[in-house]
């Protein structure tokens, strides 16, 4: 307010910088001065002797989100199957186009179609593994392994009913439901097939049982994906049965071709190769179904 004077800075007797601070101002200690504080996170133990806290690991990189599936990928197969159904089973060209489009477009090819049936493939391998074990060591010993020795001597359909939870251990998901439905259909078909004696089961009969199971599993997968409930079926009950039977025969021909191809290639039914054998049959079955469907659709 008019009485203030200009500030001339600190005097030499009372510096603002302490004498023990290095002349460079960087924290270096002068001789006889107080020590520097230890830097943080140098691995010094805590006062209670516990090890120092470790730095959190870096977050894993985010995985790319797969592209959404085409919501119209089943439109073509559904339309062709509807035409086949409305014909009462006479329009084989539409059936062929429906199946070939399902494999190539809807499922993404034979390999991807087979991979989508992981539960059914695993159940098929367990079924074949048991039948193969019964041929190798006898039915009683194979059943004893599963704690089902009491079923020894019973007809094969009864034995398979008793071991349903071993072959198809769950039915909570769609895939598990398809696997179990195919298994039940296989047991029903066995009752009229003449294959009833597990002790006398031949290698050809064993493959026939597996052919039944794979056929029902693939048929159920196609029906579930295409959504037969949304397809107009013929009102005539006999025509509807013909439609269902022709679809099953179409699928069975593909599975039969796949099994013939595996046997011609010298596939060995060793216990450690059963899953690979089953996986290859499924993939080949879809490949043959696609080829057969294209041939039918071109007629």
pLDDT in tens, 88-103: 889 999 999 999 999 9
Does residue 113 form part of some domain?
yes
| Highest averaged pLDDT of the listed ranges 29-38, 62-71, 91-100 | 91-100
Q: Domain limits at 114?
A: 75-297
- Cβ contacts of 181 within 8 Å, gap of 6 or more: 216, 220
Q: At 108, is the secondary structure helix, strand, or coil?
A: coil
Kindly report the pTM of this predicted structure. Answer: 0.75
What DSSP designation does 16 have?
S
**Band of pLDDT at residue 38, cut at 50, 70 and 90:** low
Residue 54 lies in a domain: no
Distances (CA, A) of 257 to 62, 124, 191, 250, 289: 43, 17, 24, 11, 9
Percent of the chain scored above 70 by pLDDT?
74
- Indicate the number of domains in the chain: 1
Residue 40: inside a domain, yes or no? no
d(CA 102, CA 251): 12
Do the domain assignments include residue 95? yes
| Residue 45 belongs to some domain of the structure | no
- Is 179 part of a structural domain of the chain? yes
Q: What is the pLDDT of residue 13?
A: 47
- Per-residue pLDDT, averaged over 213-237, amounts to 84
The 10s digit of each residue's pLDDT in 111-141 is: 999 999 999 999 999 999 999 999 999 999 9
Alpha helices in the chain (DSSP H): 75-86, 92-101, 110-115, 118-137, 139-145, 156-162, 164-167, 174-190, 203-226, 237-264, 274-297
pLDDT higher than 90, residue 268: no
Instruction: Evaluate whether 87 touches 94 at the Cβ level (below 8 Å).
Output: yes
Tokens of 117: 């049936």
Neighbour-count burial for 77-98, b at 16+ CB within 10 Å, e otherwise: bbebbbbbbbbbbebebbbbbb
Selected residue with higher pLDDT from 247 and 233: 247
Q: Quick one: CA dihedral 116, 250, 170, 151, positive or negative?
A: negative
pLDDT band at 150 (very low <50, low <70, confident <90, very high): very high
The DSSP code for 199 is T
Q: Tell me whether residue 33 is in a domain.
A: no
Within a domain: residue 55?
no
pLDDT over 90 for what percent of the chain? 59
Q: Which of 134-148, 213-227, 257-271 has the lowest average pLDDT?
A: 257-271
């Amino acid at each position: 307010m008019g009485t203030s004077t200009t500030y001339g800075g600190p005097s030499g007797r009372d510096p603002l910088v302490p004498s023990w601070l290095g002349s460079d101002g960087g924290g270096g200690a002068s001789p006889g001065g107080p020590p520097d504080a230890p830097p943080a996170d140098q691995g010094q133990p805590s006062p209670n002797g516990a090890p120092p806290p470790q730095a959190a690991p870096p977050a894993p990189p985010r995985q790319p989100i797969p592209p959404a599936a085409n919501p119209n990928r089943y439109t073509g197969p559904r339309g062709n199957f509807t035409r086949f159904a409305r014909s009462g089973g006479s329009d084989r060209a539409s059936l062929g186009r429906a199946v070939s489009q399902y494999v190539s477009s809807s499922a993404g090819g034979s390999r991807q179609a087979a991979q989508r049936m992981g539960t059914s493939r695993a159940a098929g391998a367990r079924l074949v593994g048991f039948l193969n074990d019964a041929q190798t060591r006898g039915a009683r010993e194979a059943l004893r392994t599963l704690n089902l020795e009491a079923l020894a001597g019973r007809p094969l359909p009864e034995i398979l009913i008793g071991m349903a939870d071993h072959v198809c251990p769950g039915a909570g998901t769609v895939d598990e439901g398809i696997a179990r439905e195919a298994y039940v259909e296989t047991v029903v078909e066995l009752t009229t097939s003449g294959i009833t004696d597990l002790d006398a089961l031949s290698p050809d009969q064993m493959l026939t049982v597996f052919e039944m199971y794979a056929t029902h599993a693939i048929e159920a997968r196609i029906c579930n994906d295409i959504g037969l409930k949304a397809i107009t079926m013929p009102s005539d009950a006999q025509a509807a049965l013909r439609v269902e039977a022709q679809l099953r025969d179409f699928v069975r021909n593909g599975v039969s071709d796949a099994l013939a191809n595996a046997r011609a290639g010298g596939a060995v039914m060793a216990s450690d190769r059963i899953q690979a054998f089953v996986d290859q049959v499924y993939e080949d079955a879809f490949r043959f179904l696609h080829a057969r469907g294209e041939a039918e659709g071109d007629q």
